[in-house]
Chains A and B, each alone.
Chain A
Amino acid sequence: MSDGDGNGFDPKSASYLDSIEVIEVQRGPNPGGVGGAYRAFGETLRGLKTTMARLIEGPLTIEYPEEKTPVYPRFRGRHKLHKFEDSGLEKCVGCSLCAAACPADCIRVVAAENIPGDRVSAGERYAAVYEINLSRCIFCGYCEIACPFDAITMGHDYEMADYDRGDLIFTKEMLLAEPIERTPLKSEGE
């Protein structure tokens, strides 16, 4: 296997065996004695120095859940579906493009046709069923990017824990409802 490029080597070759040097491994001192005492106290004190130095800076931890870390404006939390402000019609037309884009396959859209006079959305079709299974969602935001009507956007809420997996399937009504904004936004420059 030893070829001319100098990288390969054959562990069985004579030249290799000749080149081996036996090196003695250095070990630490045995436990106990002066050395042991130094290691126990000296090193601890060295660590404590860092602790003491930070102590005067005051606490950095946040008292969650009483207090919340503000998130960036583009933070990808729980989704929101939107309506047009003027007409009140749903922006979503049930095109299923979000479902196609979703890598976790957690969006389910069943579309239906709008009845003139009783419109749900502005287009010909609307989403009769719109569900996101948030227990599967990886919050990648692809759905938001795929949507041709900005009907779905990622919100800021990340507090979605629940006792039942079934409750994590968010329906259209839940996604359309104004979510309780529990998460503060980071302010400019923060």
Chain B
Amino acid sequence: MPEEQVDKQVVHASHLNLFYGNNQALFNINLSFEKNHVTALIGPSGCGKSTFLRCLNRMNDLIEGVKIEGNIKIHNEDIYHPQTDIVQLRKNVGMVFQRPNPFPMTIYDNIAYGPRIHGLKDHKKLDEIVESSLQKAALWNEVKDRLHTPAKGLSGGQQQRLVIGRVLAVEPEIILMDEPTSALDPISTASVEELLQELKKSYTVIIVTHNMQQAARSSDFTAFFLNGEVVEYGKTSRLFTTPKEKRTEDYITGRFG
């Protein structure tokens, strides 16, 4: 598979099975993610995209009765190893959720939350982190005069960029996004998509999206999920033009889903 061989792969999932109680939600997933690229996970609702994404920062640990087989390696370290430091893992693998979920605090405190949690108290340093994170999230110019006002006062798109900034403030390497624009209007969506292109220069981004145009526009690689399996994985440009699998073609041409 020469076309898939690009720079460097940082995340490897192999033979991954996941069960919610007795219900298997993921079947033998084998996927690797390229450093400094955007990978899109597409597929109809309920096919396991979120479930897979939440394996990568072990958010599924919070759900009772979840059982996981196989392994996920980040930089060759098994993140499900009993000795894994989950705090460290989650600092390294940030997550942006479907609905913008700023904390009920000021804009400043939202960004400073992560660094503070991890023990940073120095005001100067916090100020710097807040500014640089908001810069990276392309929000600084819009909010620099009201850092100490409630985050709830921002528009949906601004809130989602704030949340991205909040993730960037803990200096992750990988950013997971679960349908980050599905609750946003087209203009806000465009602002987040634009940001993605900026982010991939410094981060590895894995984004679940319901929106095929978004995957086609914003991602470098795409994995197509169906019923808990990965049907096809490849360069986005190739997968959307010449899918190898019939089921992929049916999905991207809108025949189901």
Interaction A to B: no
Interface residues, chain B, CB within 8 Å of chain A? none
Interface residues, chain A, CB within 8 Å of chain B? none
